Amino acid sequence: MKIPKLGLPAKLYILVAVPLIAELLFVGMLMGVLKNAEHEIWRRSHSNTVLTESNSLINDFVNSTMAIYIYGTTGADSALERYKDLSQQIPETIRQLKIDLRDSPNAKEAAERITSIGNHASELLSRGSEVISDSHAIKRIAEHRDEMEKLMATLTSELKAFIKEQAKAEQINPNAEIQSRQMVKSCVVFGILLNTFIAISLTLYLHRDILSRIYVLMSNTVKLTNNEPLQERLAGGDEISTLDHVFHNMAEALAEAARRKQEIVSMVSHDLRTPLTSVQASLTLLSEGVLGPLPARAGKEVTNAENNTARLINLINDLLDFEKLEAGQLAIERKITAVTPLLERSYEAVKAFADKQKVEIKVVPNEHRIYADGDRIIQVLINLLSNAIKFSPAESVVILDAVPKEEYVELRVTDQGRGIPESFRKNMFQRFQQVDQIGDAKTKKGTGLGLAICKSLVELHNGIIGVDSVEGQGSTFWIRIPKEQPTELLPASSSTSNS
């Protein structure tokens, strides 16, 4: 028989229903045991009551016989009063004993016999009162006394037999009350053990069937983030296994997308960059007149083509660098490095571009040292300098300097451009972000990857990057690189504070 697959709601209902049913069964069993114990207590109390009433009835008959004997012999009035009191008390005791015997188990026949004798005794006591009232009937009193003695002997014999039967019944199970109490204790202990077992079982079931599989989902999330192989698909048909299957399908789709992206990157690297480099070289030869002079209009078009080709090659290079950074394949070799040579090499790399834009670059020498890969820091500074030159007005100054801090050195590129809108600063280090709000952004637009690459390169050095800017007054881009090999990431600071 195939076991149906249960969903999470059904499993949760089971987790609630099982202990509830167990509690109801336990309460029912405990009520039954308590009922038996109460019945046993009532039976013993009732039996003691019947025995007490039987003994009292025997004593009353004895006393009534003695009272009528004493009165017949001495004529004492006190004996007569005693007899009259007992004549009224004995019928009431017989009536109560009859009621109690009616409720007694296995005492129906005894109740009928004792009731019959009691009724006869009541009638005899009534006639005895009439006999005693006749003071001249001493002989009749003696006869009444003899009849009373015979009746008392019969009733005493019957009551003693009944008392003996009751005592025998008590001896059959003298520890019945103790056993009832022990049964109650055993029932409570069993209920505690049962509830403990159910609680442990449900906890293990919850952990094995639900929590452990949720932990698998959490582990797979971390593995997917770290590009590690996922654990095997979860079995079952509930919502957790369904979610796990969806997660695996998503991971497979992401892996396929990454594979296709890698193919595109490889195609860009091998099939586009090399031909474009050749085209750029040819255009450079044409624009410089190496292959002969060109008409003015043709020379202008060749120069535009050369510039566009250079932009396309830069875009390809940025894409390749960003891909390597995301894949963790870009290696850096850090060592203690002087800052001033890095600033000067960065300046030399962008000097021609600055001259063309009529922007002056001022390098402030220093004696600071950082723990970094010099070539990668230069790559970052060149990118920041290029942006500063691009968005600076002609005849302005871009300052490149370094400021020592407690555990790091802050390298800064300060321009006198239009500044950066506050709404854009928090996203400007993300990929493909452009400052579209600036009026000439379209004519000076770049790849949108430069600052994202700078951020990744700085973070590889356990550093941070940011910007201070005021619209209309310029911007200061800064990177903070540790002076020595750090043990943890430097604390981040605001990248939108005003200078």
What is the pLDDT at residue 3? 45
Domain count of the fold of the chain: 3
Within a domain: 400: yes
Within a domain: 188: no
What is the pLDDT at residue 482? 93
DSSP, collapsed to helix, strand or coil, labels residue 397 as strand
Q: What angle do CA 317, 411, 426 make, to 5 degrees?
A: 70
DSSP, collapsed to helix, strand or coil, labels residue 447 as coil
- The CATH number given to whatever domain includes residue 48 is 1.20.120
Same-domain status, 115 and 150: yes
The residue range of the domain holding 307 is 239-314
Same-domain status, 103 and 18: yes
Residue the block writes with tokens 């302005």? 396
Same-domain status, 171 and 33: yes
Within a domain: 324: no
Same-domain status, 347 and 428: yes
Please report, in tens digits, the pLDDT of each residue of the chain (499 residues total).
Answer: 444 566 666 666 666 777 777 777 777 777 777 777 677 677 777 777 777 777 787 787 778 777 777 776 777 778 778 877 877 787 777 777 777 776 665 556 666 666 676 666 666 666 665 555 554 445 555 666 666 667 667 767 766 666 666 666 555 455 665 666 677 777 777 778 877 887 787 777 766 767 777 888 888 888 887 777 888 888 777 777 888 888 888 888 888 887 787 777 667 666 777 787 888 788 887 877 777 777 877 877 877 787 777 777 777 777 777 677 666 667 788 899 999 999 999 999 889 889 989 999 999 999 999 999 998 899 899 989 998 998 899 999 999 999 998 889 999 999 988 888 877 777 787 755 555 444 444 445 555 678 888 888 898 888 999 999 888 888 999 999 998 876 554 444 333 333 3
Within a domain: 455: yes
Same-domain status, 291 and 425: no
What is the pLDDT at residue 280? 79
What is the pLDDT at residue 493? 38
* Nearest-angstrom CA–CA distance, 402 and 133: 140
What is the pLDDT at residue 126? 64
What is the pLDDT at residue 110? 64
Other Cβ atoms within 10 Å of 38 Cβ, number: 11
Within a domain: 322: no
Domain stops at, among 167, 183, 199: 183
What is the pLDDT at residue 268? 67
What is the pLDDT at residue 369? 93
Same-domain status, 340 and 477: yes
Same-domain status, 128 and 267: no
Same-domain status, 374 and 285: no
Same-domain status, 159 and 101: yes
**Radius of gyration of the chain measured on its C-alpha atoms:** 56
Domain stops at, among 149, 165, 183: 183
Within a domain: 190: no
Q: How far, CA to CA in Å, does 169 sit from each of 38, 104, 312?
A: 18, 12, 112
The burial of 135, by beta-carbon neighbours within 10 Å (0-12 exposed, 13-18 middle, 19 or more buried), is given as exposed
Domain stops at, among 314, 347, 376: 314
- pTM comes to 0.48
- The CATH number given to whatever domain includes residue 391 is 3.30.565.10
DSSP, collapsed to helix, strand or coil, labels residue 247 as helix
Within a domain: 223: no
Length of the chain: 499
Within a domain: 343: yes
* Nearest-angstrom CA–CA distance, 220 and 436: 39
Q: What angle do CA 443, 444, 447 make, to 5 degrees?
A: 115
Q: How far, CA to CA in Å, does 61 sit from each of 64, 294, 321, 411?
A: 5, 156, 122, 124
Same-domain status, 264 and 136: no
Same-domain status, 168 and 255: no
* Nearest-angstrom CA–CA distance, 82 and 100: 26
Q: CA neighbours within 13 Å on the CB side: how many for 326?
A: 15
The DSSP result for 33-76, as a single string, is HHHHHHHHHHHHHHHHHHHHHHHHHHHHHHHHHHHHHHHHHH--
Same-domain status, 475 and 379: yes
Q: Tokens at residue 470, please?
A: 């005021």
* Nearest-angstrom CA–CA distance, 324 and 462: 18
Q: How far, CA to CA in Å, does 6 sit from each of 3, 327, 338, 492?
A: 9, 41, 67, 49
